[in-house]
Structures are given as structure tokens and as C-alpha cells.
């Protein structure tokens, strides 16, 4: 059962998913703090390289199946041209100004 993006609880996470699905790189980057970090399957990654490779150059798309932690943890079917579709988990750290300072993803 997919949760419509517009119904996601956390506004910053909702904007993150919307930017990914719209392939809006500029909008995506505006959601992040200047020193944002991320990890994939438990390994720290270079944020700029990862988002270009895994989201924007490969047409990444998220279909959210479940949310928890007031909308800051997601279970989603993530797909891109490189890997096809996989079940993934996402966790977000959102600062007081609403920008995301960290996200962690990996296979669920």
C-alpha cells in the first residue's frame, strides 16, 4: 500500500521525496544543510557523487510504503535505471530550520 507523497507527515521528508520523484536537483539541494552527510547500507558516501549517480543521472524514484518516527523514517520501493527496483529504508535528521542534515538509506 503506497502512501501518496502529499500525505507524508514530515514536510521536509515530503519535499525530499517530491524532489527525487520530480528529478529536481536544485530543489533537492535546497532541502539540505551546507554540511549534510549521508550513508548507504551503513557506509558513509560522498553526498554529491551519490545523489548524482543514484538519483539524478539514473532517474531515481521513491514509492513510500510506510513511515514511522513522525515521518522521519520511511520504507520505500526505490527504483533507478542502474539497479531497477528494491525495497529500501530511509532515515532523516531534520534541523530546526527544516533542512535535512543527514539521511541514511539502505536495503530493507
The secondary structure element, H or E, covering residue 107 is: strand 100-107
Residue 97 belongs to some domain of the structure:
yes
Q: What is the CATH number of the domain that holds 25?
A: 3.10.450.50
Q: 3-state class of 84 per DSSP?
A: strand
In a domain, 102, yes or no: yes
Whether 41 is in a domain gets the answer yes
Number of domains in the chain: 1
The domain in which residue 66 lies consists of 9-107
Q: What is the pLDDT of residue 18?
A: 98
Please indicate, yes or no, if residue 3 is contained in any of the structural domains: no
Q: Give, for all 108 residues of the chain, the pLDDT tens digit.
A: 799 999 999 999 999 999 999 999 999 999 999 999 999 999 999 999 999 999 999 999 999 999 999 999 999 999 999 999 999 999 999 999 999 999 999 999
Question: Do the domain assignments include residue 42?
Answer: yes
- Is 78 a member of any domain? yes
Question: Per the domain annotation, does 14 fall within a domain?
Answer: yes
37 falls within a domain: yes
Contact 72, 91 (CB under 8 A): yes
With residue 43 as reference, give the H or E element that holds it. strand 43-45
Task: Say which residue the cell 528494491 belongs to.
Answer: 86
Amino acid at each position: 500500500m503506497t502512501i501518496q507523497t502529499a500525505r507524508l507527515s514530515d514536510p521536509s521528508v515530503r519535499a525530499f521525496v517530491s524532489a527525487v520523484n520530480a528529478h529536481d536537483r536544485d530543489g533537492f539541494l535546497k532541502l539540505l544543510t551546507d554540511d549534510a552527510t549521508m550513508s548507504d547500507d551503513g557506509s558513509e558516501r560522498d553526498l554529491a557523487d551519490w545523489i548524482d549517480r543514484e538519483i539524478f543521472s539514473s532517474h531515481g524514484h521513491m514509492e513510500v510504503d510506510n513511515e514511522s518516527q513522525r515521518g522521519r523514517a520511511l520504507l520505500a520501493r526505490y527504483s533507478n535505471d542502474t539497479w531497477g527496483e528494491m525495497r529500501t529504508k530511509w532515515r532523516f535528521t531534520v534541523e530546526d530550520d527544516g533542512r535535512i542534515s543527514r539521511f541514511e538509506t539502505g536495503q530493507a
